[in-house]
Amino acid sequence: MTIFYKKQVLFLLLGTVMITACQKTPIQFGQAYVDNSFSNIVLVDTISPQLSTVFVDSTVTSGSGAMLAGDYPDPYFGKVSAKSFFELSPSGGVTLSHNPVFDSLKLILIPNKSFYGDTTVNCDFSVYQLSNPMSFPQFQNVFYNNTNFAVNATALGSFAGRIYPNITDSVFINLSNSMGQELLNQYKENDATIQSATNFIAYFKGLRVGSSNGNMQAVYGFKDSATLRLYYHETDVFIENKHIDFKLYNSDNTQFNQVLSDKTGTPVAAFNSAKKELLSSETNGSAYLQYITGFVPKIKFPSLNQLYLRPDFVKIIKADLIVKPITGSYPTSMPLPPILYASETDQNNLPGGDLIDATSSSFQTGNLVLDNLYNQNTQYTYDVTSYLQQQLAITYTNQNGLLLIPPAPTRIASFNRAIFGDKTNKQGAIQLKLFYVSVNP
């Protein structure tokens, strides 16, 4: 009987433990949400963000800190080309003696190790002298990606060969001997044109560097420290080789990059000055990002107010926005932007404040994760909790959203781009994971 009694007691205890373990422990949030109520956390993944692309036909490219030159074919953005425009300043305090003799004139460019496209193909650059000095239009102190200045009909020089962006330390482009001799004569005569940057720019105007024939396969980045070097020698007892440098001049912020794209036959061909924003449903279920050519994705949350239709809804407590580039859209030669800020905007599509990380109080960068093995889980992630809490409180028709934008000045010195899919795109879809406090009605 004693043994039987002990077994009965043990059976009752085990039953009690099992019943307790099977019950879902209620979460009590107390006065912060509802009085004396028990609440649960509910995950909602049916509120679909709306994806679109905003097109800006002119982007500021002066003050980028980089010179861009070359072109490449892009399956999404078309034929993309870049040319750099800049001015030069003469060296002062040069003393010539012993009958200097001209040797050569070279433009020296220093790669900054940035590139976009296939660098295994040879480069073909040409250098042209501007026909007129660069000057800002009235009330303007910047130049744009579609700005252009006329050049002389004949190139000053050209370069054909291979550039290894991570190895090549300098690119030397041979220029016109007659121009070099003319510059040396000015120093011989101590001409007024070489006495100041202002005088020299009025005489020499400036240079443009770009692809010679539009058939390159990559755009290369160079430091904004180009040098026009005049080589000469003097003979006394021995021959002495010397040079005079004309340095890049940018005190007036005139150095800029012209960046153009031929969109014919591409997914973004529909964009123009009249069509500044298109929903992803109009562009193959995708949104497009390449800031330097004017394309920026926009994300809106038009169905957010549906939360109020849920009788148990109390408050959003966590929301993560997951943005995935479509599979196969980012080969090694065309990498994704490593950092993307989420900038608040409205119906005017002008960037406002960037989302802040609640933990570090710094700007959210997207925390890019690269899945280089399967290309299935590459994604940017943003904590949009505070943002959606604010948007949910808006009672009028809400046209607000988020623009995904690279940081400055990278966004105007790089061709990094991304193509994002909407909820219908099987190659990668944007997703919102939203958690809210639920109270039984």
Q: What is the pLDDT of residues 230-283, one digit of tens each?
A: 999 998 878 899 999 999 999 999 999 999 999 999 999 999 888 899 999 999
Quick check: 420 and 381 in contact, CB under 8 A? no
Last residue of a domain, one of 262, 295, 310: 262
Predicted local confidence at residue 415, as pLDDT: 96
The reply to whether 12 falls in a domain is no
**Burial of 354: CB neighbours in 10 Å, binned 0-12, 13-18, 19+:** middle
**Average pLDDT of every residue of the chain:** 89
Last residue of a domain, one of 209, 234, 262: 262
Predicted local confidence at residue 375, as pLDDT: 77
The reply to whether 2 falls in a domain is no
pLDDT per residue as tens digits for the range 273-328: 888 999 999 999 999 999 999 999 999 999 999 999 999 999 999 999 999 999 99
State whether 212 and 84 are in the same domain.
Answer: yes
3-class state of residue 350 by DSSP? coil
Predicted local confidence at residue 235, as pLDDT: 86
| Token pair listed for 126 | 């040409």
The reply to whether 21 falls in a domain is no
Q: State how many domains the chain has.
A: 2
Q: How confident is the model at residue 426 (pLDDT cuts 50, 70, 90)?
A: confident
Question: How far are the Cα atoms of 45, 56, 429 from residue 423, in angstroms, in the given order?
Answer: 11, 25, 5
User: What pairs with residue 436 in β-bridges?
Assistant: 42, 316
Calpha distance 383→330 (Å, rounded): 24
More confident of the two residues 340 and 427: 340
- In this predicted structure, the answer to whether residue 39 has a pLDDT above a threshold of 80 is no
State whether 313 and 429 are in the same domain.
Answer: yes
3-class state of residue 422 by DSSP? coil
State whether 354 and 291 are in the same domain.
Answer: yes
State whether 322 and 424 are in the same domain.
Answer: yes
- In this predicted structure, the answer to whether residue 397 has a pLDDT above a threshold of 90 is no
Q: How confident is the model at residue 37 (pLDDT cuts 50, 70, 90)?
A: low
DSSP-derived pairing of the beta strands 277-279 and 418-421: unpaired
Residue range of the domain that includes 186: 66-262
Query: Among the ranges 19-23, 143-147, 185-189, which has the highest mean pLDDT value?
Result: 143-147
State whether 108 and 188 are in the same domain.
Answer: yes
Predicted local confidence at residue 34, as pLDDT: 46
Predicted local confidence at residue 27, as pLDDT: 44
- In this predicted structure, the answer to whether residue 438 has a pLDDT above a threshold of 80 is yes
Quick check: 430 and 322 in contact, CB under 8 A? yes
pLDDT per residue as tens digits for the range 204-221: 999 999 999 988 999 999
pLDDT per residue as tens digits for the range 168-179: 999 999 999 999
Quote the pTM value. Answer: 0.86
The reply to whether 396 falls in a domain is yes
- In this predicted structure, the answer to whether residue 10 has a pLDDT above a threshold of 60 is no
- In this predicted structure, the answer to whether residue 404 has a pLDDT above a threshold of 60 is yes
Q: How confident is the model at residue 38 (pLDDT cuts 50, 70, 90)?
A: low
pLDDT per residue as tens digits for the range 58-90: 999 999 999 999 999 999 999 999 999 999 999
